[in-house]
Amino acid sequence: MKVAFVASLQEKKNHQFHYLAIIDLLEGLGHTVFYRHITQFNIDDISQSENLNIKFYKKVFQALKAADLVVAEISCQSISIGYIISETLKIGKPVVALTTATVPPVTTYLEEQMPLIVHQYVSIRALEEELPLLISQVEPKKEKKFNFFLPPELDEYLLKAASEKRLSKSEYLRQLLAKDQH
């Protein structure tokens, strides 16, 4: 799975160990991790240069668009990270927000907004065991293949009905089921 990692640049110096450890854990689980925006930029540079600031946020949003999942380290509250989480949820991508803080961050009040999971971890060692379970809770469900037998007259009707709508037989049946579901 493609994972975008986001965290506070403001606190990068103090939490760099955690940031890099989380990136290593994600890669160790076999995920492709987009994190260069965290390692290549620092807060002093982007605060003083409008061009670097724009370049940084372009990289962040490129990573978000390319990712299937966003993992955010939110131990240090950051309006920027809150905004990035909000934008990620708006486009319907899942977010796993990790924190070492004992006081719940504001984002815990967003947990009702699926697919957001806020998780407090005690140590990187504990997170090593917890992270696969957290990711499995937000992994997109795979489509199921379903085969069945049709009598010839139903197969002819299905072919005719699907052809009239210029759809495959499978897509025609999916649309029928979706319509019946609502």
Q: Based on C-alpha coordinates, what's the Rg of the chain?
A: 22
72 lies in the same domain as 95? yes
Q: What is the pTM of this model?
A: 0.71
The pLDDT, as a whole number, for residue 160 is: 93
Residue 54's CATH number:
3.40.50.450
Give 90-100 pLDDT, tens digit per residue.
888 999 999 98
Q: Is the dihedral of CA 93, 176, 147, 170 positive or negative?
A: negative
CA distance 28 to 31: 7
Give 8-38 pLDDT, tens digit per residue.
888 888 888 899 999 999 999 999 999 887 8
Q: Does residue 55 belong to any structural domain of this protein?
A: yes
**Total domain count, the chain:** 2
Q: Does residue 28 belong to any structural domain of this protein?
A: yes
The end-to-end CA distance of the chain, in Å, is: 31
78 lies in the same domain as 168? no
